[in-house]
Structure 1
Amino acid sequence: MSEQAGIKLWSFTGKMKTLHLSWMAFFITFVVWFNHAPLLAVIANSLGLSASEIKTLLILNVALTIPARVIIGMLTDRYGPKLTYTWVLALCSIPCFMFAAASNFEQAAIARFLLGFIGAGFVIGIRMVSEWFPANELGTAEGIYGGWGNFGSAAAAMSLPLIALMFGGEDGWRYAVGLSGLLSLIFSVIWYFNVTDTPKGSTYFKPKQTGAMEITSKGDFWLLLLMKIPMYGALSLLTWKLSPNGVNLFSEQSALIAYFALLLLFIYEVKQTYKVNGHVFEKPVAEIHQYKFKQVAVLNILYFATFGSELAVISMLPLFFAEVFSLDMVYAGMLASLYAFMNLMSRPGGGWISDKFGRKKTLLILTAGLALGYLTMSAIDSSWPLALAVIAAMACSFFVQAGEGAVFAAVPLIKRRLTGQIAGMTGAYGNVGAVVYLTVLSMVSYQQFFLVIAGTAVVGFITLLFMEEPKGSMTEVREDGTIELINVS
């Protein structure tokens, strides 16, 4: 597969160079995606935003990421990670500059909505890393990619307020946000000139058709359509939050148009799915080319509970600590950032444990830990010592992020040529989870919010019992018609 066996973290050649550049690209996308979060108070003051307008910006920031992850997954499989990441990093610097230059709420809202697209960058590196690492190292490599890249949100929280202060004045935040866009633009060039889609001599397998995910049986056709419904449900929920029933950014009429557009889009997707996969109703796909979509469905549900809860909890944890323990926001924010800090070790840890002890067993243990972790967090109140509450949050965070690492240790082992699309759908489910959990949070107490997440983790645990441990090899066909067997265990 490559000239060096094992994962040598301090190496910057061959597959390790690709891994390091991949997590750096992902890291930058997260810095840009969350560059507003640590500066919200200053931005609100500068643009004269109300509390509901600030909440709207937070919702808009994740809205586009759900469809974007699916689209970017398809583009990655079709055109390769090299080109796709180059364009995402370069083009998304534009709404970043737009946000930095915004002079009112409407301009800021449009820029934030468009910036949701950069949150899809994650999917591209999953396919890139899977091309360069063998199955027995893949969990660890994907974990490093995900964990170190994900740390971009924490890095933004720590560095951007300081950069804004260095520039000073009421426009300091604009320079800090603008610099993150410039970093994205510069790195798109570095990425393009330093990576290749596969190691020398390897084949980059592309889907036979684009427009919808390929499936290989009748049952999987219906399961795929069923798994699309929650994604449209989350987008409908976002529309509802932006309508007069929520923060009133949309008029009643605009909301109705958005609902109708989502319905038309769903009908179009069903049509495309049949166009690509209608042949399974006429004759069965040869067993050697089959894969089980239920594997994807299980991982979707687990990523809903893991990454979905992480995004939601990161958004509310500073406020939770501040309110429950009567802390000032700066101190509460620092304590809450420890939750995100765990990413550096937890996610690679989850991938490494999967490589060593098996994908399914690892996921079962981590999902059980996740449920218990959130159950514990639901019991936190002001009678707890603060240190114990922080330790409980960090322990819970370990299971959440190690679980994310374990999910993406399994994703690339299902069907190589569809890895981008599978990663896109699973990644989108993480955002669906975030939308659902944040909506729940706006309606219930903190205790009930944590209990709801624990409940969905239990559902995840039950669905996991249907997953099959990847073993043996998957089959892909080269352009010349010869068959390549790719080891998955």
Structure 2
Amino acid sequence: MSETAAASTPSASLRSGQARNLALATLAFAISFWAWNMIAPLGVRYTEAMDLSSGQKSLLVAIPVLVGSLGRIVTGALTDRFGGRLMFTILMLATAPFVLLVAFAGNRDSYGLMLLFGFFLGIGGTTFAVGIPFVNAWFEAPRRGFATGVFGAGMGGTALSAFFTPRFVKWFGYEATHVIIAAALVAIAFLVWSAMRDSPAWVPNHDPVVPKLAAAAKLPVTWSMAFLYAVAFGGFVAFSTYLPTYLKDVYEFDLTGAGTRTAGFAIAAVICRPIGGVLSDRIGPRVVAATSFAGAAVMAVVVALQPQPEWPAGLSFVLMAAFLGLGTGGVFAWVAATAPKERVGSVAGIVGAAGGLGGFFPPLVMGATYNEADHSYTIGLTLLCITAIVALAYTLFGIRKREPAAAGG
């Protein structure tokens, strides 16, 4: 009994650093996600300035997601080796120049340069795979759902971007807005380097990256969680990046109005992500994930019916965000509970990449299936409903391995 108690009780050094390091990781994640999402809130501006087609504007807002997704595979594995403190610092410093280069491309109305620099802007999205193993090492098993949920709330950087980026452009100007965000990335990178510490429970994994990723890829939990996260987080990313365009096309909101409502969507998901993590600690992540996918399927149908603004439509999108937020928290609580400790970073990288890729393709599908005559995205939303139903069935019946008992259960 004493051995079990000792194993489940955090040391004094862990307790003393948990709150500070969780807060710093969440802050770094949030500002990175703000930078990652710099193009989408201004998508309407770019569309008008460059006379983009529906497909072109969809690709423009989706392209940063590509590197932000695939790059997580590498950054997750590197975090297992070098630790979160170093990786957060490097990635934020690497993102800052591309924020400025996006502004340069935008000023020149160059679609090609926007795609190029937007691609590398995706570096900011890879910090997610850094934070999961970093936070996981700071918390004992019964609280990892809570910890990863709180850290995941840093995806609220997309809400900050949706709300403030158009306003910053209005208040300070287009170039100054990008300078402010680039400077914030650099400042927080130095704060992270000076104040953040890797967990005393963390042990560097010096295995070569490729074999380590191969080992993670052989784990059944990796691909089960990758699929579920592609639906939950992918749905959130897709809505967060494409919603300003959707609201303009369907409801004719202007840039600021669409950004404000997109921020509301993101905030709802951000609030529900840690709730999903906490509930997973108590009732199990399977139940939380199933609830998420069932709710998302229903809300996809409701949104496709184009409820009237302001309250019916607003409530529909908020509920959609809430269900997706619960799912993101639930799935990564499942990862934290089932992935081998020495493979958490590698598994998180692959799962996180799947989530990002899940957000890359839907905007392209939405753009390709948009019915301009009816101002309708019914086909895309129907596909979302079907995908959510498949994820629900897989959650309930496709993952047979017994879950660890919920905390206190």
Tell me the TM-score normalised to structure 2 length: 0.86
Q: Is the alpha carbon distance of 1:5 and 1:423 closer, same or farther for their aligned partners in structure 2, counting shifts above 3 Å?
A: closer
Go from structure 1 to structure 2 and tell me whether the alpha carbon gap of 1:175 and 1:136 turns closer, same or farther (over 3 Å shift): same
Structure 2 unaligned residues grouped into runs of 5+: 1-9, 371-376
Structure 1 contact 325–386 (Cα < 8 Å) conserved = no
Displacement after TM superposition at 1:417 (Å): 1.3
Task: Tell me how far apart the structure 2 counterparts of residues 127 and 165 of structure 1 sit (CA, whole Å).
Answer: 38
Q: CA RMSD in A?
A: 2.8
Which structure is larger by alpha-carbon Rg, 1 or 2?
1
Counterpart selection for 2:82 from 79, 84, 87: 79
Mapping of residues 400-439 of structure 1, within 5 Å: 400-413=324-337, 414-439=339-364
Distance in 2 separating the partners of 1:360 and 1:344: 20
Equivalent position of 1:380 in the other structure: 306
- CA deviation after TM superposition for structure 1 residue 162, in Å: 3.2
What do the CA deviations read for 1:180-227 (whole angstroms, capped 9, x no partner)? 11111121111112122213xx241516332144567xxx97xx5xxx
Contact 2:160–2:263 (8 Å) recurs in 1: no
Out of 216, 230, 235, the residue aligned to residue 304 of structure 1 is 230
Shift of 1:63: 2.3
Q: Indicate the percent of aligned positions where both proteins have the same amino acid.
A: 24
CA separation of 1:410/1:165 partners in 2, compared to 1, >3 Å: closer, same or farther?
same
Aligned: 1:457 with 2:381: no
**Cα deviations across residues 121-145 of structure 1 (Å, max 9, x unaligned)?**
1110111110111121111111111
Provide the C-alpha distance between the structure 1 equivalents of 2:191 and 2:252, rounded to a whole number of angstroms.
46
The amino acid that maps onto 2:404 is: K
Aligned to 1:245: none
Q: Deviations over 1:139-187 (max 9, x none)?
A: 111111111x1111111222233333333xxxx2111112111111121
Q: 1:298–1:460: 8 Å Cα contact kept in structure 2? A: no
- For structure 1, the 5+ residue unaligned runs are 7-12, 225-292, 473-486
Contact 2:58 2:364 in 1 (8 A): no
User: What residue identity is the alignment partner of 1:310?
Assistant: F
Instruction: Give the partner amino acid of 2:126.
Output: A
Deviates more, 1:361-370 or 1:190-199: 361-370
Per-residue CA distance 1:245-294 (angstroms, 9 max, x = gap): xxxxxxxxxxxxxxxxxxxxxxxxxxxxxxxxxxxxxxxxxxxxxxxx22
How far apart, in 1, do the equivalents of 2:261 and 2:244 lie? 7
Q: Indicate conservation of the 8 Å contact 1:471/1:488, yes or no.
A: no
Deviation at 1:434, TM superposition (A): 1.9
Does residue 66 (structure 1) correspond to residue 63 (structure 2)? The answer is no
Q: Which amino acid aligns with 1:82?
A: R
The one of the two structures with greater contact order (alpha-carbon pairs below 8 A, sep at least 6) is: 2
Q: Which residue of 1 aligns with 2:404?
A: 471
Structure 1 residue 49: deviation in Å?
2.2
1:294 counterpart (220, 236, 243): 220
For residues 67 and 488 of structure 1, do their structure 2 counterparts lie closer, same or farther at Cα, with a shift above 3 Å needed?
A: farther
State the alpha-carbon separation in 1 of the partners of residues 141 and 224 from structure 2.
20
CA contact (8 A) 1:370 1:396 kept: yes
Q: By percentage of residues, which structure has more helix? A: 2
Whole-angstrom distance in 1 between the partners of 2:326 and 2:178: 30
**Aligned partners of 1:415, 1:390: CA distance in 2, in Å?**
41
Offset of 1:302 from its aligned partner? 0.9
SS in 2 for 1:463: helix
For the residue of structure 2 that corresponds to 1:211, the secondary structure is: helix
TM-score of the superposition, structure 1-length normalised?
0.72
